[in-house]
A and B are shown apart, each in its own frame.
Chain A
Amino acid sequence: MANQVCFRNNHLENSWSLSAYQSNGGYEVLKKILSEKLTPEELIEDIKLSNLRGRGGAGFPTGLKWSFMPRTVDGQKYIVCNSDEGEPGTCKDRDILRYNPHQLIEGMIIAGYCIDASVGYNYIRGEFWEPYARFEAALEEARAAGLLGDNILGSGFNFQLHSHLGAGAYVCGEETALLNSIEGKKGQPRFKPPFPAGFGLYGRPTTINNTESLASIPVILAKGGQWFLEQGLPSAGGEKLFSVSGHVNRPGNYEVPMGMPFSELLEMAGGVRDGHQLKAVIPGGSSTPVVPGEQMMDVNMDYDSIASAGSMLGAGSVIVMDETTCMPRVLTRLAYFYYEESCGQCTPCREGTGWLSRVTQRIEDGVGVAADIELLDSVAGNIEGTTICALGDAAAMPVRSFLKHYRDEFQYHIDHKKCMVESDW
């Protein structure tokens, strides 16, 4: 099976409209919750049962996260959606916003109901104007239909939902940087603790979930946590969106069961581009360690299986590389990305990403020296675990893994001042 959760409406004409969404059962779960006064406790139990794990990359169980909210404490609480999709290789949330925005809205209203938040914000990256416009239009439709705002469907439950547009900063995908950004500040991550559930947006209890996680909620509650669990694995329920990009014949977003063999997903994406062989795969977005192609062909698309290959599922962003790929060139580009995007707050990341970028660049340019490989390893090691947020580790992991699997290519660059492979790109 495929396309049963976030992409379940994509085949409908104008799938982003309220009428299309409602023609396929949209907002029925919300109506049921409000009319039958289902309790947040029972809803959260069902989400725990589903074993929905956070789709932004960390994989933390969504139901458990919601249960951390101090629901019964007085005062304002917030639900925030993280649509700051910027991890290279990842482009699934963009399609949820463009093709199924009402399912995200319904998910956010239900989340607000479950954690006692009367206000929500959807943080959409600034470059996503078209998805933002779609989401805004859907908000207007939902408000006009009495599904969003004060006294929803006469239930007495109030929920206000707004978009917040970013302006270009990868680090704002980190949840506390994102909160600072909504507060109108530089998007620099905060120390944790305190965690957002205690001290979040404007200092109030806040839950932050990824777009795909929140958009999955209405389907989980409509069909039951047990149904969702059974679509995937006991360790991670559901179907999940995988963005397959790079050297494949049919790049695209594929919503398939958690645990599908990588080889099947690759086949769905049309296989490696014609006339070429699989060389390497980055399975979960640019931060996750690279896996040699041969090894990847034995891996399934779930947290445990990918971990056994030394990498991570991340946000399900599968980057496929064929034999024309020069690994030092790819790592040089990734190192530059993290250097560009480091927020500058922690010294190991601010300085270390600069070193990683400059040293990879000189190896790529054919002016690297023999000690550079050890230098890269040592700089990466000095970033790991020493920063406030995960961006430092995200910069270090590609370096470690590229050197682990493709050290010979780096050595060749240094020795021969040129690339080992022929590339047509």
Chain B
Amino acid sequence: MSMISDSARSDIENWVDKYPAEEKQSAVMAALRIVQDENSGSLTTELMNEVATLLEMPEIAVYEVATFYSMYELKLVGRHKICVCTNISCMLNNSKAVVDKLEDKLGVKLGETTADGEFTLKEVECLGACVNAPVVQVGENYYEHLNPAINPDKIDQLLAELRGES
């Protein structure tokens, strides 16, 4: 039985249509993102194999892509994945304090998931929003200017907003 929903399939088909007919593999990155989103934020071997079948490509070629790019998760993650940039411009603007505060509030370290499965804290490389540092990304959104020394409430507001969503 397929683990990929009809709506995800049609979404993937839309991506396939962007590329030449004989180049279905070009849609693999989009397909992995779509099925990952539908599976609470992570991929399984079964899902990757289904993507391979759908796009008529070898399973190993799907695994190669899934393990190469940092936004794919091969282990379970929390409902909200908080991606904290600690690269240079964020670092200069106190991303360490952002990490410390998030670790403190959530009771987990970078790379860990809260016991209730709500939050994963992940250190990421430059998010390309350096003039608004420090920055975190959660799902489709960026949250900017988070230095607690300048905006003491922003991280609390972010967590409250995310908790409200779940």
Contacts and interface: CB of A to CB of B under 8 A. Distances in A.
Are A and B a genuine interacting pair, yes or no? yes
Interface of A: 76, 85-91, 93-94, 121, 125-130, 133, 162, 164-170, 181-187, 202, 243-247, 251-253, 282, 286, 317, 319, 321, 325, 330, 333-334, 337, 340-341, 343, 424-425
Contacts of A165: 29-30, 33
A337 B129 CA distance: 16
Contact of B131 (A129, A169, A202, A253): A253
Interface stretch (B4-12, B18-26, B109-117, B154-162): B18-26
B28 A166 contact: no
B88 A202 contact: no
A334 B33 contact: no
B144 to A, nearest CB: 10
A202 B24 CA distance: 12
A187 to B, nearest CB: 7
A125 B128 contact: yes
Contact of B88 (A126, A253, A286, A341): A286
Given A86-B128, A341-B125, A183 B88 contact: no
Given A167-B71, A184-B61, A184-B65, 9 more contacts: A85-B128, A121-B18, A129-B139, A168-B71, A182-B26, A184-B26, A185-B61, A244-B131, A340-B125
5 contacts: A91-B132, A169-B70, A286-B126, A343-B68, A425-B93
A164 B140 CA distance: 16
A167 B72 contact: yes
A168 B69 contact: yes
B71 to A, nearest CB: 4
Chain B CB count within 10 A is highest, among A129, A164, A184, A185, for A184
Q: How large is the interface on B (under 10, 10 to 19, 20 to 34, 35 or more residues)?
A: 35 or more
Given A126-B69, A166-B69, A202-B23, A91 B131 contact: yes
Contacts, number: 157
Given A126-B71, A130-B140, A245-B130, A88 B93 contact: no
Contacts of B18: 121, 162, 164
Contact of B125 (A94, A121, A170): A170
Contact of B71 (A127, A170, A182, A185): A127
A425 B25 contact: no
B86 A243 contact: no
A330 B132 CA distance: 19
A285 B70 CA distance: 21
Nearest to A282: B88
B29 A167 contact: yes
A133 B141 CA distance: 11
A185 B128 contact: no
Given A86-B125, A170-B125, A319-B88, A184 B25 contact: yes
Interface in B115-143: 124-133, 137, 139-142
Contact of B92 (A91, A125, A167, A425): A425
B88 A90 contact: no
A85 B20 CA distance: 26
Contacts of B130: 88-91, 243, 245, 251, 317, 319
B131 A88 contact: no
A89 B69 contact: no
B137 A243 contact: no
Contacts of B124: 127, 168
Nearest to B22: A202
Given A88-B126, A129-B140, A425-B93, A185 B88 contact: no
A260 B28 CA distance: 44
A425 B96 contact: yes
B64 interface: yes
Contact of A89 (B24, B83, B89): B89
A130 B139 CA distance: 10
B65 A185 contact: yes
B57 interface: yes
B91 interface: yes
Contacts of B125: 86, 88, 170, 337, 340-341
A251 B128 contact: no
Chain A CB count within 10 A is highest, among B61, B92, B132, for B92
Contact of B126 (A86, A182, A186): A86
A125 B29 CA distance: 12
B49 interface: no
A392 B87 CA distance: 18
Contacts of A133: 140
B27 interface: yes
Chain B CB count within 10 A is highest, among A166, A245, A321, for A245
Contacts of B93: 245-246, 425
A167 B32 contact: yes
A312 B70 CA distance: 29
A388 B32 CA distance: 28
A223 B65 CA distance: 44
